[in-house]
Amino acid sequence: MQLENLTKKNQEFIHIATTKLIKDGKSDEEIKALLEEILPSILESQKKGVTARSLYGAPTEWAASQTTVTENNNTLPENDNPWLMWLDSSLLILAILGFVNGGMNLFTQGSQYGLVTFIIVGFGVGAGIYFMYHFVYRHMGEGKQRPKIWKAILVLLLATLAWSAIFFLANLIPASINPVLSPIANILIAAVAFGIRYLLKKKYNIRNAMQPVR
């Protein structure tokens, strides 16, 4: 870098900016790359009497903006793929059902789900959650036209009826193809579902179907 060719004011700009970048956790390589991007412009402008501060503003603000740009570039936009959102919601329901049902039956003898019932309920309720998102929640973000109250109530009613039908029909599955899960098995399945959901959400940044779009 050609720091020795800079004026005192521009050297001061580089020094303050570098200190800020170090505080923000930038590596030596990252700092060097950032400074090499702006040095040619600074050197060219100082020939005309224009300082680095005039070009880029306060050095601390310029350094902070570089950190913000990097963070934004490393953040994926929320993924609203319907299949991924349905899977995300279903895995969440499986995790909740498994932990609650398994945990309760460790201490008391209550109703236990069969394996097929467990899966059908989990993915069925997950589909209902996405149904609610598609017709209600995604229209409730800031600046969006909210759905009419009667439409929201109708969608909620249909989703509730669908969930009730799923629970009813799932319980009619013959025991021969629907082995009852032990409390420990419920908890293990819940843990696996939660782990898979966490990994998928981390990799694809899947939008939460139970929240309005911001």
pLDDT, tens only, 130-155: 888 877 767 665 444 555 666 667 76
- Predicted pLDDT of residue 169: 74
- Predicted pLDDT of residue 2: 64
- Predicted pLDDT of residue 193: 94
Q: What does each C-alpha distance from 46 to 80, 120, 132, 177 come to in angstroms?
A: 48, 70, 59, 80
- Predicted pLDDT of residue 162: 73
Decide: 85 and 213 in contact? Cβ < 8 Å: no
Report pLDDT digits (tens) over 155-175.
677 777 876 777 677 777 887
What percent of the chain clears pLDDT 70, i.e. is strictly above it?
Answer: 82
Report pLDDT digits (tens) over 81-136.
889 999 999 999 999 989 988 888 887 776 677 888 888 888 988 888 888 887 77
Of 47-51, 55-59, 109-113, 185-189, which range is least confident?
109-113
Question: How far is the C-alpha of 189 from the C-alpha of 194, rounded, in Å?
Answer: 9
Q: Count how many Cα atoms sit within 13 Å of the Cα of residue 6 in the half-sphere of its side chain.
A: 20
- Predicted pLDDT of residue 70: 47
**74 pLDDT above the threshold of 70:** no
Each domain of the chain, given as residue ranges in start order, spans: 3-73, 82-204
